[in-house]
Structure 1
Amino acid sequence: MNSVVVETPTDLAGTEKVLAFFREQLLSGTLREGDRLLGERELSLALGVSRPVLREALRSLANLGFLDIRHGKGAYVRKADMAVIGDFLTFCLAQQPDMMDDIMQARIAIECQAIRLACLRATDGDLSRIGSLLTRLLDTIHDVEDGGAADFAFHMALVEASRSPALVTIYQSIATLLKRSHVQRRLETSETAGILDYLVEAHREVYLSVLARNPDEAEDKLRQHFAIGDELRRKSYIAAFTKKDLPKQE
Protein backbone atom coordinates (compact mmCIF):
# COMPACT_ATOMS: atom_id res chain seq x y z
CA MET A 1 0.00 0.00 0.00
CA ASN A 2 1.41 3.38 -1.01
CA SER A 3 1.97 5.87 1.79
CA VAL A 4 0.76 9.45 1.46
CA VAL A 5 3.25 12.18 2.33
CA VAL A 6 1.59 15.12 4.06
CA GLU A 7 3.52 18.38 4.20
CA THR A 8 3.50 20.03 7.59
CA PRO A 9 3.51 23.81 8.12
CA THR A 10 7.21 23.51 9.02
CA ASP A 11 7.93 21.74 5.72
CA LEU A 12 6.06 24.43 3.80
CA ALA A 13 7.98 27.17 5.57
CA GLY A 14 11.23 25.39 4.75
CA THR A 15 10.25 24.96 1.11
CA GLU A 16 9.33 28.63 0.87
CA LYS A 17 12.76 29.54 2.29
CA VAL A 18 14.49 27.54 -0.43
CA LEU A 19 12.35 28.98 -3.21
CA ALA A 20 12.76 32.54 -1.90
CA PHE A 21 16.54 32.06 -1.69
CA PHE A 22 16.73 30.71 -5.23
CA ARG A 23 14.56 33.54 -6.56
CA GLU A 24 16.59 36.24 -4.81
CA GLN A 25 19.89 34.76 -6.02
CA LEU A 26 18.65 34.87 -9.61
CA LEU A 27 17.25 38.41 -9.33
CA SER A 28 20.46 39.73 -7.80
CA GLY A 29 22.57 38.06 -10.46
CA THR A 30 24.47 36.00 -7.89
CA LEU A 31 23.28 32.85 -9.67
CA ARG A 32 23.28 32.57 -13.45
CA GLU A 33 22.59 29.88 -16.01
CA GLY A 34 25.14 27.08 -15.65
CA ASP A 35 26.15 27.94 -12.07
CA ARG A 36 26.33 25.16 -9.50
CA LEU A 37 24.41 25.55 -6.24
CA LEU A 38 26.08 25.01 -2.90
CA GLY A 39 26.27 21.41 -1.77
CA GLU A 40 23.28 19.93 -0.02
CA ARG A 41 24.85 20.05 3.45
CA GLU A 42 26.07 23.65 3.12
CA LEU A 43 22.80 24.87 1.65
CA SER A 44 20.61 23.20 4.27
CA LEU A 45 22.73 24.74 7.05
CA ALA A 46 22.75 28.18 5.44
CA LEU A 47 18.98 28.20 5.02
CA GLY A 48 18.14 26.47 8.27
CA VAL A 49 16.08 23.72 6.64
CA SER A 50 16.32 19.95 6.83
CA ARG A 51 17.99 18.07 4.01
CA PRO A 52 14.80 16.15 3.08
CA VAL A 53 12.90 19.46 2.75
CA LEU A 54 15.77 20.94 0.72
CA ARG A 55 15.82 17.91 -1.61
CA GLU A 56 12.08 18.14 -2.20
CA ALA A 57 12.27 21.88 -2.96
CA LEU A 58 15.16 21.39 -5.38
CA ARG A 59 13.28 18.52 -7.04
CA SER A 60 10.30 20.85 -7.53
CA LEU A 61 12.54 23.48 -9.13
CA ALA A 62 14.00 20.79 -11.39
CA ASN A 63 10.52 19.64 -12.44
CA LEU A 64 9.72 23.23 -13.39
CA GLY A 65 12.84 23.31 -15.54
CA PHE A 66 14.84 25.76 -13.41
CA LEU A 67 17.48 23.32 -12.18
CA ASP A 68 19.44 20.44 -13.63
CA ILE A 69 20.15 17.92 -10.86
CA ARG A 70 23.10 15.72 -11.76
CA HIS A 71 23.53 12.73 -9.49
CA GLY A 72 26.85 12.85 -7.72
CA LYS A 73 27.66 16.30 -9.13
CA GLY A 74 25.08 18.65 -7.63
CA ALA A 75 22.36 20.99 -8.86
CA TYR A 76 22.96 23.48 -11.66
CA VAL A 77 20.94 26.49 -12.78
CA ARG A 78 19.42 25.97 -16.19
CA LYS A 79 17.55 28.20 -18.58
CA ALA A 80 13.83 27.92 -17.87
CA ASP A 81 11.90 25.61 -20.17
CA MET A 82 9.08 27.77 -21.55
CA ALA A 83 7.10 24.68 -22.57
CA VAL A 84 6.92 23.57 -18.94
CA ILE A 85 6.04 27.06 -17.70
CA GLY A 86 3.45 27.39 -20.45
CA ASP A 87 1.87 24.09 -19.45
CA PHE A 88 1.76 25.17 -15.81
CA LEU A 89 0.12 28.49 -16.71
CA THR A 90 -2.33 26.75 -19.04
CA PHE A 91 -3.44 24.42 -16.23
CA CYS A 92 -3.97 27.42 -13.94
CA LEU A 93 -5.89 29.50 -16.48
CA ALA A 94 -7.97 26.58 -17.76
CA GLN A 95 -9.80 26.55 -14.43
CA GLN A 96 -10.90 30.16 -14.76
CA PRO A 97 -14.34 31.14 -16.16
CA ASP A 98 -14.29 32.97 -19.53
CA MET A 99 -10.63 32.04 -19.86
CA MET A 100 -10.28 32.69 -23.60
CA ASP A 101 -11.84 36.15 -23.43
CA ASP A 102 -9.38 37.05 -20.70
CA ILE A 103 -6.48 35.60 -22.68
CA MET A 104 -7.49 37.73 -25.66
CA GLN A 105 -7.35 40.88 -23.53
CA ALA A 106 -3.87 39.91 -22.35
CA ARG A 107 -2.86 39.21 -25.93
CA ILE A 108 -4.05 42.63 -27.10
CA ALA A 109 -2.12 44.37 -24.32
CA ILE A 110 1.09 42.48 -25.09
CA GLU A 111 0.92 42.80 -28.88
CA CYS A 112 0.03 46.49 -28.92
CA GLN A 113 3.11 47.37 -26.87
CA ALA A 114 5.24 44.85 -28.75
CA ILE A 115 4.36 46.24 -32.16
CA ARG A 116 5.30 49.75 -31.04
CA LEU A 117 8.69 48.48 -29.93
CA ALA A 118 9.05 46.45 -33.13
CA CYS A 119 8.73 49.66 -35.15
CA LEU A 120 11.74 51.00 -33.28
CA ARG A 121 13.83 47.88 -32.74
CA ALA A 122 13.10 45.33 -35.47
CA THR A 123 16.14 44.25 -37.48
CA ASP A 124 16.09 43.65 -41.23
CA GLY A 125 16.06 39.95 -40.40
CA ASP A 126 12.97 40.39 -38.21
CA LEU A 127 11.14 42.26 -40.97
CA SER A 128 12.09 39.65 -43.55
CA ARG A 129 10.83 36.86 -41.30
CA ILE A 130 7.51 38.61 -40.68
CA GLY A 131 7.14 39.08 -44.44
CA SER A 132 7.80 35.38 -45.05
CA LEU A 133 5.20 34.45 -42.45
CA LEU A 134 2.71 36.79 -44.10
CA THR A 135 3.27 34.86 -47.33
CA ARG A 136 2.77 31.59 -45.47
CA LEU A 137 -0.44 32.98 -43.97
CA LEU A 138 -1.71 33.84 -47.47
CA ASP A 139 -0.76 30.40 -48.81
CA THR A 140 -2.76 28.66 -46.05
CA ILE A 141 -5.72 31.04 -46.00
CA HIS A 142 -8.21 28.30 -46.96
CA ASP A 143 -6.96 25.80 -44.36
CA VAL A 144 -8.33 26.14 -40.85
CA GLU A 145 -5.53 24.25 -39.03
CA ASP A 146 -2.52 25.38 -41.06
CA GLY A 147 -3.97 28.85 -41.50
CA GLY A 148 -4.53 29.22 -37.78
CA ALA A 149 -0.96 28.08 -37.09
CA ALA A 150 0.39 30.54 -39.68
CA ASP A 151 -1.68 33.33 -38.16
CA PHE A 152 -0.22 32.62 -34.72
CA ALA A 153 3.33 32.45 -36.13
CA PHE A 154 2.88 35.87 -37.78
CA HIS A 155 1.81 37.47 -34.50
CA MET A 156 4.52 35.65 -32.55
CA ALA A 157 7.10 37.09 -34.94
CA LEU A 158 5.73 40.58 -34.34
CA VAL A 159 6.21 40.14 -30.60
CA GLU A 160 9.71 38.73 -31.08
CA ALA A 161 10.57 41.73 -33.25
CA SER A 162 9.97 43.93 -30.20
CA ARG A 163 13.31 42.64 -28.89
CA SER A 164 11.77 42.65 -25.41
CA PRO A 165 12.65 39.45 -23.50
CA ALA A 166 9.88 40.14 -20.96
CA LEU A 167 7.12 40.52 -23.56
CA VAL A 168 8.35 37.52 -25.56
CA THR A 169 8.52 35.35 -22.42
CA ILE A 170 5.02 36.30 -21.29
CA TYR A 171 3.62 35.75 -24.79
CA GLN A 172 5.34 32.39 -25.11
CA SER A 173 3.91 31.31 -21.76
CA ILE A 174 0.37 31.58 -23.17
CA ALA A 175 1.31 30.29 -26.63
CA THR A 176 -0.63 27.02 -26.26
CA LEU A 177 -3.82 28.91 -25.49
CA LEU A 178 -3.22 31.45 -28.28
CA LYS A 179 -2.63 28.74 -30.91
CA ARG A 180 -5.90 27.12 -29.86
CA SER A 181 -7.64 30.49 -30.08
CA HIS A 182 -6.38 31.16 -33.62
CA VAL A 183 -7.67 27.83 -34.90
CA GLN A 184 -10.96 28.13 -33.03
CA ARG A 185 -11.61 31.59 -34.46
CA ARG A 186 -10.93 30.30 -37.96
CA LEU A 187 -13.47 27.56 -37.41
CA GLU A 188 -16.06 29.99 -36.06
CA THR A 189 -15.72 32.48 -38.92
CA SER A 190 -14.88 30.21 -41.87
CA GLU A 191 -18.28 30.76 -43.51
CA THR A 192 -18.57 34.49 -42.72
CA ALA A 193 -18.81 36.63 -45.86
CA GLY A 194 -15.63 38.58 -46.55
CA ILE A 195 -13.55 36.86 -43.89
CA LEU A 196 -10.75 35.75 -46.21
CA ASP A 197 -10.35 39.19 -47.82
CA TYR A 198 -10.34 40.72 -44.34
CA LEU A 199 -7.63 38.36 -43.06
CA VAL A 200 -5.40 39.09 -46.03
CA GLU A 201 -5.81 42.86 -45.93
CA ALA A 202 -5.62 43.22 -42.14
CA HIS A 203 -2.33 41.35 -41.83
CA ARG A 204 -0.89 43.11 -44.87
CA GLU A 205 -1.66 46.52 -43.37
CA VAL A 206 -0.16 45.57 -40.03
CA TYR A 207 3.02 44.40 -41.75
CA LEU A 208 3.30 47.55 -43.88
CA SER A 209 2.92 49.79 -40.84
CA VAL A 210 5.84 48.00 -39.15
CA LEU A 211 7.91 48.32 -42.33
CA ALA A 212 7.18 52.05 -42.25
CA ARG A 213 8.34 52.08 -38.62
CA ASN A 214 5.34 54.11 -37.54
CA PRO A 215 4.40 53.04 -33.96
CA ASP A 216 1.10 54.97 -33.80
CA GLU A 217 -0.12 53.65 -37.13
CA ALA A 218 1.06 50.13 -36.34
CA GLU A 219 -0.79 50.01 -33.03
CA ASP A 220 -3.90 51.52 -34.67
CA LYS A 221 -3.89 48.92 -37.46
CA LEU A 222 -3.43 46.13 -34.95
CA ARG A 223 -6.30 47.35 -32.76
CA GLN A 224 -8.50 47.63 -35.86
CA HIS A 225 -7.53 44.06 -36.74
CA PHE A 226 -8.66 42.82 -33.33
CA ALA A 227 -11.86 44.89 -33.31
CA ILE A 228 -12.98 43.90 -36.80
CA GLY A 229 -12.12 40.28 -36.12
CA ASP A 230 -14.34 40.33 -33.04
CA GLU A 231 -17.18 41.89 -35.05
CA LEU A 232 -16.92 39.25 -37.77
CA ARG A 233 -16.92 36.53 -35.15
CA ARG A 234 -20.03 38.05 -33.56
CA LYS A 235 -21.76 38.06 -36.96
CA SER A 236 -20.84 34.43 -37.48
CA TYR A 237 -22.53 33.55 -34.17
CA ILE A 238 -25.68 35.42 -35.18
CA ALA A 239 -25.74 33.73 -38.59
CA ALA A 240 -25.22 30.30 -37.04
CA PHE A 241 -28.08 30.71 -34.56
CA THR A 242 -30.36 32.22 -37.19
CA LYS A 243 -29.78 29.27 -39.48
CA LYS A 244 -30.33 26.87 -36.58
CA ASP A 245 -33.70 28.44 -35.66
CA LEU A 246 -35.11 28.51 -39.21
CA PRO A 247 -38.01 26.04 -39.73
CA LYS A 248 -37.13 23.05 -41.86
CA GLN A 249 -38.56 22.98 -45.37
CA GLU A 250 -41.10 20.19 -45.95
Structure 2
Amino acid sequence: MNTLKSAESDAVAGTEKVLSFFREQLLSGALKEGDRLLGERELSLALGVSRPVLREALRSLANYGFLDIRHGKGAFVRKADIAVLGDFLTFCLAQQPDMVDDIMQARIAIECQAIRLACSRATDGDLSRIGGLLSTLMETLDDAEDGGAADFAFHLALVEASRSPALITIYHSIATLLKRSHVQRRIETSDTTGIRDYLVEAHREVYLSVLARDPDEAETKLRQHFAIGDELRRKSYIAAFARKGLPEEK
Protein backbone atom coordinates (compact mmCIF):
# COMPACT_ATOMS: atom_id res chain seq x y z
CA MET A 1 0.00 0.00 0.00
CA ASN A 2 2.79 2.43 0.91
CA THR A 3 4.54 1.64 -2.36
CA LEU A 4 1.34 2.42 -4.28
CA LYS A 5 0.87 5.72 -2.45
CA SER A 6 4.48 6.65 -3.10
CA ALA A 7 4.09 5.94 -6.82
CA GLU A 8 0.92 8.04 -6.97
CA SER A 9 2.67 10.87 -5.13
CA ASP A 10 5.62 10.74 -7.51
CA ALA A 11 3.27 10.83 -10.50
CA VAL A 12 1.45 13.89 -9.12
CA ALA A 13 4.74 15.65 -8.41
CA GLY A 14 5.99 14.77 -11.89
CA THR A 15 2.81 16.10 -13.51
CA GLU A 16 3.07 19.36 -11.57
CA LYS A 17 6.69 19.68 -12.69
CA VAL A 18 5.68 19.32 -16.34
CA LEU A 19 2.80 21.79 -16.03
CA SER A 20 4.99 24.29 -14.18
CA PHE A 21 7.67 24.01 -16.86
CA PHE A 22 5.14 24.59 -19.63
CA ARG A 23 3.63 27.58 -17.83
CA GLU A 24 7.00 29.21 -17.19
CA GLN A 25 8.11 28.68 -20.77
CA LEU A 26 4.99 30.47 -22.01
CA LEU A 27 5.34 33.33 -19.53
CA SER A 28 8.99 33.88 -20.41
CA GLY A 29 8.25 33.83 -24.12
CA ALA A 30 10.52 30.82 -24.70
CA LEU A 31 7.50 29.01 -26.13
CA LYS A 32 5.00 30.60 -28.48
CA GLU A 33 2.01 29.48 -30.51
CA GLY A 34 3.11 27.01 -33.17
CA ASP A 35 6.38 26.04 -31.47
CA ARG A 36 7.24 22.36 -31.18
CA LEU A 37 8.17 20.97 -27.77
CA LEU A 38 11.33 18.94 -27.26
CA GLY A 39 11.02 15.25 -28.07
CA GLU A 40 9.58 12.98 -25.41
CA ARG A 41 12.93 11.46 -24.47
CA GLU A 42 14.73 14.82 -24.24
CA LEU A 43 11.94 16.44 -22.28
CA SER A 44 11.60 13.60 -19.77
CA LEU A 45 15.35 13.69 -19.11
CA ALA A 46 15.42 17.47 -18.82
CA LEU A 47 12.56 17.51 -16.33
CA GLY A 48 13.52 14.37 -14.46
CA VAL A 49 10.17 12.66 -14.91
CA SER A 50 9.26 9.30 -16.38
CA ARG A 51 7.99 9.14 -19.93
CA PRO A 52 4.56 7.75 -18.89
CA VAL A 53 4.12 10.68 -16.48
CA LEU A 54 5.23 13.11 -19.18
CA ARG A 55 2.79 11.63 -21.70
CA GLU A 56 -0.10 11.92 -19.25
CA ALA A 57 0.76 15.55 -18.46
CA LEU A 58 1.02 16.45 -22.14
CA ARG A 59 -2.28 14.69 -22.80
CA SER A 60 -3.88 16.83 -20.09
CA LEU A 61 -2.49 19.99 -21.68
CA ALA A 62 -3.86 18.83 -25.03
CA ASN A 63 -7.29 18.21 -23.47
CA TYR A 64 -7.28 21.77 -22.14
CA GLY A 65 -6.51 23.00 -25.63
CA PHE A 66 -2.97 24.21 -24.93
CA LEU A 67 -1.17 21.62 -27.05
CA ASP A 68 -1.71 19.96 -30.39
CA ILE A 69 -0.24 16.44 -30.28
CA ARG A 70 0.43 15.15 -33.79
CA HIS A 71 1.19 11.47 -34.12
CA GLY A 72 4.74 10.97 -35.33
CA LYS A 73 5.50 14.69 -35.36
CA GLY A 74 5.44 15.77 -31.72
CA ALA A 75 3.58 18.23 -29.52
CA PHE A 76 2.99 21.81 -30.67
CA VAL A 77 1.86 24.86 -28.71
CA ARG A 78 -1.57 26.02 -29.79
CA LYS A 79 -3.60 29.09 -29.02
CA ALA A 80 -5.74 28.39 -25.97
CA ASP A 81 -9.45 27.92 -26.59
CA ILE A 82 -11.29 30.35 -24.32
CA ALA A 83 -14.37 28.09 -24.44
CA VAL A 84 -12.44 25.47 -22.47
CA LEU A 85 -11.56 28.02 -19.79
CA GLY A 86 -15.16 29.19 -19.75
CA ASP A 87 -16.43 25.65 -19.20
CA PHE A 88 -13.91 25.12 -16.41
CA LEU A 89 -14.86 28.34 -14.62
CA THR A 90 -18.55 27.63 -15.07
CA PHE A 91 -18.20 24.23 -13.41
CA CYS A 92 -16.18 25.74 -10.55
CA LEU A 93 -18.36 28.77 -9.91
CA ALA A 94 -21.66 26.93 -10.30
CA GLN A 95 -20.84 25.03 -7.11
CA GLN A 96 -20.27 28.17 -5.06
CA PRO A 97 -22.95 29.70 -2.78
CA ASP A 98 -24.34 33.08 -3.90
CA MET A 99 -22.75 32.46 -7.29
CA VAL A 100 -25.01 34.88 -9.19
CA ASP A 101 -24.28 37.81 -6.87
CA ASP A 102 -20.56 37.05 -6.94
CA ILE A 103 -20.52 36.93 -10.74
CA MET A 104 -22.34 40.26 -10.78
CA GLN A 105 -19.61 41.84 -8.66
CA ALA A 106 -16.95 40.49 -11.03
CA ARG A 107 -18.94 41.83 -13.96
CA ILE A 108 -19.14 45.31 -12.43
CA ALA A 109 -15.39 45.39 -11.81
CA ILE A 110 -14.57 44.32 -15.38
CA GLU A 111 -17.09 46.54 -17.14
CA CYS A 112 -16.30 49.69 -15.16
CA GLN A 113 -12.63 49.52 -16.11
CA ALA A 114 -13.43 48.40 -19.64
CA ILE A 115 -15.76 51.31 -20.31
CA ARG A 116 -13.11 53.78 -19.19
CA LEU A 117 -10.67 52.27 -21.65
CA ALA A 118 -13.32 52.16 -24.37
CA CYS A 119 -13.71 55.94 -24.11
CA SER A 120 -10.18 56.38 -25.43
CA ARG A 121 -9.65 53.19 -27.43
CA ALA A 122 -12.93 52.45 -29.16
CA THR A 123 -12.82 52.70 -32.94
CA ASP A 124 -15.60 54.14 -35.09
CA GLY A 125 -16.48 50.55 -35.93
CA ASP A 126 -16.79 49.69 -32.24
CA LEU A 127 -19.08 52.65 -31.61
CA SER A 128 -21.24 51.80 -34.60
CA ARG A 129 -21.56 48.19 -33.44
CA ILE A 130 -22.56 49.22 -29.92
CA GLY A 131 -25.17 51.57 -31.39
CA GLY A 132 -26.58 48.75 -33.52
CA LEU A 133 -26.82 46.48 -30.49
CA LEU A 134 -28.62 49.24 -28.59
CA SER A 135 -31.23 49.24 -31.36
CA THR A 136 -31.56 45.46 -31.08
CA LEU A 137 -31.96 45.78 -27.33
CA MET A 138 -34.83 48.25 -27.84
CA GLU A 139 -36.52 45.90 -30.30
CA THR A 140 -36.50 42.95 -27.88
CA LEU A 141 -37.83 44.58 -24.71
CA ASP A 142 -40.83 42.24 -24.54
CA ASP A 143 -38.88 38.99 -24.92
CA ALA A 144 -36.89 37.76 -21.94
CA GLU A 145 -34.72 35.36 -23.94
CA ASP A 146 -33.95 37.59 -26.92
CA GLY A 147 -33.88 40.70 -24.77
CA GLY A 148 -31.48 39.14 -22.30
CA ALA A 149 -29.24 38.03 -25.16
CA ALA A 150 -29.31 41.52 -26.67
CA ASP A 151 -28.52 43.06 -23.29
CA PHE A 152 -25.53 40.75 -22.87
CA ALA A 153 -24.32 41.49 -26.41
CA PHE A 154 -24.45 45.24 -25.73
CA HIS A 155 -22.33 44.94 -22.60
CA LEU A 156 -19.94 42.51 -24.27
CA ALA A 157 -19.42 45.01 -27.08
CA LEU A 158 -18.53 47.66 -24.49
CA VAL A 159 -15.89 45.37 -23.00
CA GLU A 160 -14.52 44.47 -26.42
CA ALA A 161 -14.28 48.18 -27.27
CA SER A 162 -11.76 48.48 -24.41
CA ARG A 163 -9.26 46.71 -26.66
CA SER A 164 -7.86 45.04 -23.53
CA PRO A 165 -7.06 41.36 -24.23
CA ALA A 166 -6.99 40.55 -20.50
CA LEU A 167 -10.39 42.08 -19.70
CA ILE A 168 -11.96 40.62 -22.83
CA THR A 169 -10.61 37.13 -22.11
CA ILE A 170 -11.83 37.16 -18.51
CA TYR A 171 -15.25 38.46 -19.57
CA HIS A 172 -15.59 35.81 -22.26
CA SER A 173 -14.62 33.12 -19.74
CA ILE A 174 -17.71 33.87 -17.64
CA ALA A 175 -19.96 34.59 -20.63
CA THR A 176 -22.21 31.56 -20.07
CA LEU A 177 -23.00 32.65 -16.53
CA LEU A 178 -23.47 36.28 -17.57
CA LYS A 179 -25.93 35.37 -20.33
CA ARG A 180 -28.02 33.34 -17.88
CA SER A 181 -27.93 36.25 -15.45
CA HIS A 182 -29.20 38.71 -18.09
CA VAL A 183 -32.09 36.45 -19.09
CA GLN A 184 -32.99 35.69 -15.46
CA ARG A 185 -33.06 39.38 -14.58
CA ARG A 186 -35.36 40.08 -17.54
CA ILE A 187 -37.73 37.36 -16.35
CA GLU A 188 -37.68 38.59 -12.74
CA THR A 189 -38.37 42.24 -13.63
CA SER A 190 -40.74 41.77 -16.56
CA ASP A 191 -43.78 42.98 -14.56
CA THR A 192 -41.95 45.85 -12.81
CA THR A 193 -43.47 49.25 -13.51
CA GLY A 194 -41.28 51.40 -15.74
CA ILE A 195 -38.84 48.61 -16.64
CA ARG A 196 -39.08 49.23 -20.39
CA ASP A 197 -38.33 52.95 -20.12
CA TYR A 198 -35.51 52.24 -17.69
CA LEU A 199 -33.84 49.70 -19.97
CA VAL A 200 -33.93 52.06 -22.93
CA GLU A 201 -32.78 55.17 -21.09
CA ALA A 202 -30.06 53.49 -19.00
CA HIS A 203 -28.38 51.85 -21.98
CA ARG A 204 -28.80 54.96 -24.12
CA GLU A 205 -27.05 57.11 -21.50
CA VAL A 206 -24.20 54.64 -21.20
CA TYR A 207 -23.77 54.63 -24.97
CA LEU A 208 -23.86 58.43 -25.25
CA SER A 209 -21.20 58.79 -22.57
CA VAL A 210 -18.89 56.49 -24.54
CA LEU A 211 -19.63 58.45 -27.72
CA ALA A 212 -18.62 61.58 -25.83
CA ARG A 213 -15.42 59.76 -24.79
CA ASP A 214 -15.88 60.85 -21.18
CA PRO A 215 -14.53 58.05 -18.94
CA ASP A 216 -15.76 59.53 -15.65
CA GLU A 217 -19.28 60.07 -16.97
CA ALA A 218 -19.29 56.65 -18.63
CA GLU A 219 -18.33 54.85 -15.44
CA THR A 220 -20.85 56.87 -13.43
CA LYS A 221 -23.69 56.04 -15.84
CA LEU A 222 -22.71 52.38 -15.85
CA ARG A 223 -22.62 52.16 -12.05
CA GLN A 224 -25.99 53.91 -11.87
CA HIS A 225 -27.33 51.38 -14.35
CA PHE A 226 -26.18 48.50 -12.16
CA ALA A 227 -27.51 50.10 -8.96
CA ILE A 228 -30.94 50.93 -10.38
CA GLY A 229 -31.16 47.47 -11.93
CA ASP A 230 -30.54 45.88 -8.55
CA GLU A 231 -33.20 48.09 -6.97
CA LEU A 232 -35.75 47.16 -9.61
CA ARG A 233 -35.01 43.49 -9.10
CA ARG A 234 -35.46 43.93 -5.33
CA LYS A 235 -38.84 45.58 -5.91
CA SER A 236 -39.86 42.74 -8.21
CA TYR A 237 -39.12 40.25 -5.40
CA ILE A 238 -41.24 42.26 -2.97
CA ALA A 239 -44.11 42.52 -5.45
CA ALA A 240 -44.00 38.79 -6.19
CA PHE A 241 -44.08 38.01 -2.47
CA ALA A 242 -47.00 40.39 -1.95
CA ARG A 243 -48.99 38.72 -4.75
CA LYS A 244 -48.55 35.33 -3.12
CA GLY A 245 -49.69 36.69 0.22
CA LEU A 246 -48.83 35.45 3.67
CA PRO A 247 -49.51 31.78 4.50
CA GLU A 248 -52.78 31.15 6.30
CA GLU A 249 -52.58 30.32 9.98
CA LYS A 250 -53.58 26.78 10.89
Q: For the superposition of Structure 1 and Structure 2, which TM-score range results when normalised by the shorter chain?
A: over 0.9
Structure-1-length-normalised TM-score: 0.95
- Partner of 2:172 in structure 1? 172
Deviations 1:150-201 (A, max 9, x none): 1001000100000100000111110000000000000000010000110010
TM-fit CA distance, 1:246: 6.2
In 1, distance between residues paired with 2:72 and 2:92? 35
Distance 1:161 1:32 in 2: 26
In 2: Cα distance, 1:241 partner to 1:94 partner: 26
Q: How does 1:29-178 map to 2 (within 5 A)?
A: 29-178=29-178
AA in 2 matched with 1:232: L
Q: What amino acid maps onto 1:38 in structure 2?
A: L
**Residues 178-217 of structure 1: matches in 2 within 5 Å?**
178-217=178-217
TM-score of the pair, normalised by structure 2: 0.95
- Report the RMSD for the aligned CA atoms in angstroms: 1.3
Which whole-Å CA distance do the structure 1 matches of 2:32 and 2:215 have between them? 35
Structure 2 gaps, min length 5: 1-5
**Alignment correspondent of 1:3:** none
Match of 1:89, SS state, is helix
Residues 209-243 of structure 1: per-residue CA shift (max 9 Å, x gap): 00000000000000000000000000000000000
Post-superposition CA distance 1:110-132 (Å, at most 9, x none): 00000000001111111111111
Sequence identity of aligned pairs in percent? 85
| Letter of the 1:64 counterpart | Y
Q: Offset of 1:36 from its aligned partner?
A: 0.8
Q: CA deviation at 1:142?
A: 1.0
Aligned counterparts of 1:203 and 1:7: Cα–Cα separation in 2: 58
Shift of 1:76: 0.8
Q: Specify the code of the residue in structure 1 equivalent to 2:223.
A: R
C-alpha deviation, 1:139, in angstroms? 1.2
Match of 1:232? 232
Amino acid at match of 1:120: S
The 3 A distance-change label for structure 1 pair 11 and 201 is same
Shift of 1:247: 8.5
